[in-house]
Amino acid sequence: MTYRRIARLVGLAFTCALVAVPPAGAASGVAPGAPGAPALWTSGDKDGFGTSTAPASTVWHTLGGGELTEVYYPDLGTPAVRDLQFVVSDGKSWVDREREDTRHSLSLTDPRSLSYRQVNTDPDRRYRITKTYTTDPRRSVLLIRVHFESLTKKPLRLYALYDPSLSGNGDDDSGSTAGTALVASDAKAASALVAAPAFTKTSNGYLGASDGWSDLQADDAMDFNYASAPNGNVVQTGRLELTGKAGSQDATLALSFGTSASAARSAAYASLADGYGTAERAYQSGWHDYLAGRSRPRSVAGHKALYDVSLMVLAASEDKTYRGAVIASPTMAWVWGLIPGYNGPYHLVWSRDLYEIATAQIAAGDRAAAGRALDYLWTRQQQADGCLPQNSNLDGSPHWGGLQLDEVADPILLASQLGRTDAGTWSHVQRAAECILAKGPATQERWENATGYSPASIGAEIAGLVCAAQIAQANGASEEAARYRSIADDWRSRLDHWTVTTNGPLSSSPYFLRLSVDGDANAGTAYTIADGGPTVDQRTVVDPSFLELVRLGVLRADDPDVLSTLPVVDRELGVDTPNGTFWRRFNHDGYGETPDGRPFGTNDGIGRLWPIFAGERGEYELAAGQLTGNVAAARAAATTRLDAIANTANDGLMLPEQVWDDNPPAGTDGRTPGTGTGSATPLGWTHAQFVRLAWSIDAGRPVERSSLVSCRYGGPC
């Protein structure tokens, strides 16, 4: 008999044993308290994010606060789990929930794969829980290896507390016990939670009424044993056969998904039969293969692990059903996680974020991924009039109703960077360019909540038209090429009038505004800052985004208006932190935590500092160094910016959308200035900016800048 046949028989026996073992006390009855408290999501600041590189495994997991947080299935736009954590009790006098009651640490177990270990330790030194995670590349199954230690050597009890939220909505799930498995389902999907050794007791209940935590809090023991909890916000509980003493410390959990409960159960048993180690080796091998042959830039010599993780985060953020669809972040940050039945905008596809990610992937050598991104933008997002939506669901259908013309220009710029000039590309480029001409130059700008003449947006439009002209020329469309160039030149000539004030109160020298709402930058026109901001004179609001004009080649780095705006932006928006200098988006920004630390969503928030601006400033410094000839000094300055971004990474090497500044509650309760807030983490854009700046430092210039645009407007060719 061959070893392979023996292994198959052993695996079959193991699977049968799992199915056959009955629970110690058979569950019965329907849980009371339906439908339970409303289903919400966890905090947006994740410590870890992972998925297999294999297309067959359509499950993604996130980690935060010492627990498993949102899991996505069957695609990256659909959260299917709120959280899974463990509860510890002595059965008589105390009970702890690991999220609230332990000290958390997290680390990568393999820096060349998205593999994590969480260690949660009781402050009173009674127990420690160590968890490692891997996704089975062959199935939509997440495996959790658990090591539970009683530090006092006394026997303890360990429970898994699982909160499914299938199909993006946790208020309509039904939970039940099937043998020793906990299964949940709704009209579209199902999950199964299975343990090896098997759960000795299970129960299904409703959040806040009959769930396991409500039960255990009452008398430190598991009394509930409900067989089902139909149609509500279901929480499922399973007691593990572990005491924490030697010989009773290790278990593996399989959290699996499928279109039916039986399919989910079968997948869970199959993965457990194969074993955690088998899945982990295949999982890590997939990421090793992805990174193999991709050289690192010299500039990341001190940040090799962060660079590798950044590349993997970008790759992991691509959906496996809608190829090329890359989400902004696998999170529901702030208010977006606190609205029942709504999942927020971060696991949508934004043309801008996708462009930032794709340009980083081009720099890193993953042109295939960038190509899929462009194909997605053209075939899924582009609409009949040539425009692209503000954002979209994974299938390309518009989600919000806005139009931002930089997002229409971005795929044109990406096509140019990829060297795509074929007739099929031209048909899409032509329609996008015509959208820009019909709708521009005024547009909703890249921060979503104001419309007008934005230097950053118009810069993208101008660059997009110049690149569209080149693609038109390659397809014999000389008339269109001439028209695009002519309008690009005309808009560039009007930039000063539209976006540079010479009589504003922030400087006696000219400076770029965030935007002018009426096309006259010297007019004292007032507009209201969104997210609870004041009504202000447009000349009192600036934004670091004007540097898009330099990075895209529309203006030279030594343009007088650029030079005179830099000190204004630094004074108004820059903050020096222990981790480096960072900038806010604009004056009076309200998109951030409140002064007392509550999540954004109440119109009294404070917009904090964005690490992406450190990257954009570094790219500007490289462009300036090209003109002065002092490339070495420019590289040194840009490296300082690269280090600043790296310093914002958390223990799992996730980079945030925002970091704490010098406003309350910064500086209290671990909110160190320059470290991540509760904002979306990881943010793909931040990881992309880190990668692209690193390659730009090596090149001594912004690698994203189009030579077509730069040459046309007097910059380096």
Q: Spell out the SS3 assignment of 635-652.
A: HHHHHHHHHHHHHCCCCC
User: Which of 89, 102, 121 lies closest to 213 in space, CA to CA?
Assistant: 89
Cα separation of 653 and 42, whole Å? Answer: 19
Give tens-digit pLDDT for 448-457. 999 999 999 9
Burial degree of 343 (CB within 10 A; 0-12, 13-18, 19+): buried
Contact 364, 695 (CB under 8 A): yes
Question: Average of pLDDT values for 64-84?
Answer: 98
Cα separation of 348 and 335, whole Å? Answer: 16
Cα separation of 278 and 264, whole Å? Answer: 19
Does 37 have pLDDT greater than 50? Answer: yes
Q: Which sequence positions are flagged as catalytic?
A: 445, 448
CB-based burial, 177-213: b 16+ in 10 Å, e otherwise: bbbbbbbbbbeebbbbbbbbbbbbbbbbbbbebbbbb
pLDDT bracket for residue 339 (50, 70, 90): confident
Which pLDDT does position 17 carry in this prediction?
A: 37
Give tens-digit pLDDT for 659-677. 999 999 988 988 999 999 9
SS3 at position 193:
strand
Q: Taking the CB of residue 10, how many other CB atoms lie within 10 A of it?
A: 12
Does 24 have pLDDT greater than 50? Answer: no
CB-based burial, 61-84: b 16+ in 10 Å, e otherwise: bbbbbbbbbbbbbbbbbbbbbbbb
Give tens-digit pLDDT for 535-575. 999 999 999 999 999 999 999 999 999 999 999 999 999 99
pLDDT bracket for residue 131 (50, 70, 90): very high
Q: Say which DSSP state 53 is in.
A: S
Give the max Cα distance, the chain: 89
Cα separation of 17 and 212, whole Å? Answer: 26
Average pLDDT score, the chain: 96
Pair of tokens at residue 398: 């518009």
User: Which of 205, 173, 255 lies closest to 27 in space, CA to CA?
Assistant: 205
User: Which amino acid belongs to residue 351?
Assistant: S
What is the distance in angstroms between the CA of the first residue and the CA of the last residue of the chain? 69
Which pLDDT does position 593 carry in this prediction?
A: 95
Cα separation of 701 and 715, whole Å? Answer: 12
Cα separation of 522 and 705, whole Å? Answer: 30
User: Which amino acid belongs to residue 22?
Assistant: P
Domains, the chain, ranges and CATH?
3-38+47-287 (2.70.98.10), 306-712 (1.50.10.10)
- Sign of CA pseudo-dihedral 223, 38, 399, 450: negative
Which pLDDT does position 619 carry in this prediction?
A: 99
Which pLDDT does position 541 carry in this prediction?
A: 99
Which pLDDT does position 293 carry in this prediction?
A: 85
Question: Average of pLDDT values for 179-202?
Answer: 98
Does 327 have pLDDT greater than 90? Answer: yes
User: Which of 331, 365, 473 lies closest to 416 in space, CA to CA?
Assistant: 473
pLDDT bracket for residue 25 (50, 70, 90): low
Chain centre distance of CA 167? 19
- Sign of CA pseudo-dihedral 78, 82, 86, 92: negative
The residues with which 96 forms a beta bridge, in sequence order, are: 88
Pair of tokens at residue 382: 């582009």
Cα separation of 666 and 354, whole Å? Answer: 31
Which pLDDT does position 16 carry in this prediction?
A: 36
Q: Is the pTM of this model over 0.75?
A: yes
Question: Average of pLDDT values for 48-71?
Answer: 99
User: Which of 370, 35, 305, 65 lies closest to 169 in space, CA to CA?
Assistant: 35
Contact 260, 65 (CB under 8 A): no
Q: Who wins on pLDDT, 334 or 4?
A: 334
